[in-house]
């Protein structure tokens, strides 16, 4: 941990006085001379400390009058750290989480917020954590590494995982329970007589130190295959990133090396257009030759031909609930209760419904 200058020490002492109730919003601070005597430092050191407080919006200078406390320190700040597409607002998947978070936080006049990229968050977690973050809370949107979450826990800053989950209960989370929907998709594969089922999508980072949402999705899918008497065929499982080009490449390489599957599960709908293209180039048609299903209910799934059967869940509601839970904690709540949201199947033409 780096050492701090005298002016930073004075700045922190003044902040502690404000937190302790010695100064309310609108109150004038003592003169520079008085503060210099109290803290036994030079007037220049106090001036530097006050300049830092002004830059942070904690005090304001009334020219020729006094330095007054603003209401900034009496607000709580929420930093939304994005582990995915940044900025996330216009991303087709993460945007709904972000919109829910921001709509909830805007209803709380005493809360400020902003999005932070993964790179920027690593910068400040490696140094002294900024004051506005220390007095607020964090929402980790995406799949944060175990090491990063450990550092956040050590800082004792309230936080919650958004979309990623920790079912073991170590961290508060707001996520989706995909197991029933995945099980039903696989059950339909079985009822349709499928025996060669492909899984296209990332299986998650195995170096994160814990099971993230993508690893859990893949594990749940394999468990469902076994439960419904279908073989788990590793050669038909392609670990790829969630981009259209990756879906194309995964299916094309699979078809070049192995006999075609009779069912495909795309771990994200965004993989489907590329996957469809590779199937079409090989002379295979959906759903006549290969049935297909996806996950996330992204808009693109409704515009491929045929439209993609998929799993949907309330991304907006998850984001909003996470923000609400964190704000309640910042307002004095003892803990943030974790919550799983349900998932459901959206039936479309890529996978005709099979009745049992």
* Three-class DSSP labels, 174-239: EEEECHHHHHHHHHHHHHCCCCCEEEECCCCCCCCCCCCHHHHHHHHHHHHHHHCCCCCCHHHEEC
Tell me the C-alpha distance between 45 and 50, whole Å: 9
The string of pLDDT tens digits covering residues 236-251 is 999 999 999 999 999 9
If 0-12 CB within 10 Å is exposed, 13-18 middle and 19+ buried, where does residue 99 land? middle
Question: How many residues comprise the chain?
Answer: 356
Whose CA is closest to 315, among 78, 90, 101?
101
Residues 114, 80: contact at Cβ < 8 Å? yes
Distance of CA 273 to the CA centre of its chain: 25
Could you give the CA distance from residue 210 to residue 129 in angstroms, rounded to a whole number?
25
More confident residue, 308 or 202: 308
Highest mean pLDDT among 147-156, 165-174, 273-282: 273-282
User: pLDDT of 306-327, one tens digit each?
Assistant: 999 999 999 999 999 999 999 9
58 vs 50: CA distance, rounded Å: 9
For residue 256 the two structure tokens come to 């070049």
The two tokens of residue 143 are 């799949």
231: how many CB neighbours lie within 10 A of its CB? 11
Q: What is the rounded distance in angstroms from the CA atom of residue 211 to the CA atom of residue 167?
A: 9
pLDDT > 90 in the chain, percent:
57
How would residue 1 be classed by pLDDT, with cut points 50, 70 and 90? very low
pLDDT tens digits along 13-24? 888 887 666 887
Per-residue confidence band for 60, with pLDDT thresholds at 50, 70 and 90: confident
Q: Going by C-beta distance under 8 Å and a sequence separation of 6 or more, which residues neighbour residue 139?
A: 78, 79, 80, 81, 101, 159, 160, 162, 322, 323, 326
| 137-142/173-177 β-pairing | unpaired
Distance (Å, whole) CA 252 – CA 243: 14
Of 15-29, 129-143, 205-219, 246-260, which has the strongest mean pLDDT? Answer: 246-260
Q: Are 58 and 44 in contact, with CB atoms under 8 Å apart? A: no
CB atoms within 10 A of CB 21: 7
Predicted TM-score of the model (pTM): 0.79
More confident of the two residues 210 and 228: 228
The confidence score (pLDDT) of residue 63 equals: 72
| CA nearest to 217, candidates 276, 290, 271, 149 | 271
Give the span between the Cα atoms of 286 and 308, in whole angstroms.
Answer: 10
Nearest to 285 by CA among 311, 264, 257, 302: 264
């Amino acid at each position: 941990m780096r050492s701090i200058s005298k002016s930073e020490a004075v700045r922190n002492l003044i902040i502690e006085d404000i937190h302790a109730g010695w100064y309310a919003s609108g109150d004038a601070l003592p003169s520079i001379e008085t503060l210099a005597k109290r803290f036994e430092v030079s007037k220049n050191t106090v001036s530097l400390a006050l300049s830092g407080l002004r830059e942070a919006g904690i005090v304001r200078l009334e020219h020729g009058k006094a330095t007054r406390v603003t209401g900034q320190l009496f607000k709580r700040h929420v930093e939304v750290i994005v582990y995915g597409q940044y900025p996330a607002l216009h991303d087709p998947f993460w945007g709904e989480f972000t919109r829910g978070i921001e709509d909830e936080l805007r209803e709380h006049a005493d809360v400020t917020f902003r999005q932070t990229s993964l790179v920027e968050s690593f910068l400040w977690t490696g140094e002294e954590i900024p004051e506005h973050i220390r007095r607020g809370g964090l929402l980790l949107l995406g799949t944060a590494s175990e090491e990063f979450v450990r550092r956040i826990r050590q800082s004792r800053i309230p936080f919650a995982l958004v979309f990623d989950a920790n079912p073991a209960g170590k961290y508060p989370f707001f996520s989706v329970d995909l197991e029933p929907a995945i099980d039903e998709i696989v059950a339909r594969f079985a009822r349709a007589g499928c025996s060669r089922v492909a899984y296209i999508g990332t299986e998650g980072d195995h170096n994160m130190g814990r099971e993230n949402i993508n690893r859990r999705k893949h594990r749940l899918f394999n468990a469902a295959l076994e439960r419904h008497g279908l073989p788990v065929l590793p050669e038909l499982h392609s670990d790829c990133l969630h981009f259209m080009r990756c879906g194309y490449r995964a299916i094309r390489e699979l078809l070049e090396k192995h006999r075609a599957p009779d069912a495909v599960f795309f771990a994200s709908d965004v993989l489907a257009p590329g996957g469809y293209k590779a199937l079409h180039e090989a002379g295979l048609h959906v759903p006549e030759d290969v049935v297909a299903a996806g996950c996330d209910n992204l808009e693109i799934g409704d515009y491929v031909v045929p439209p993609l059967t998929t799993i949907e869940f309330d991304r907006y509601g998850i984001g909003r609930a996470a923000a609400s839970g964190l704000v309640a904690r910042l307002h004095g709540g003892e803990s943030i209760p974790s919550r799983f949201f349900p998932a459901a199947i959206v039936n479309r033409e890529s996978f005709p419904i099979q009745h049992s």
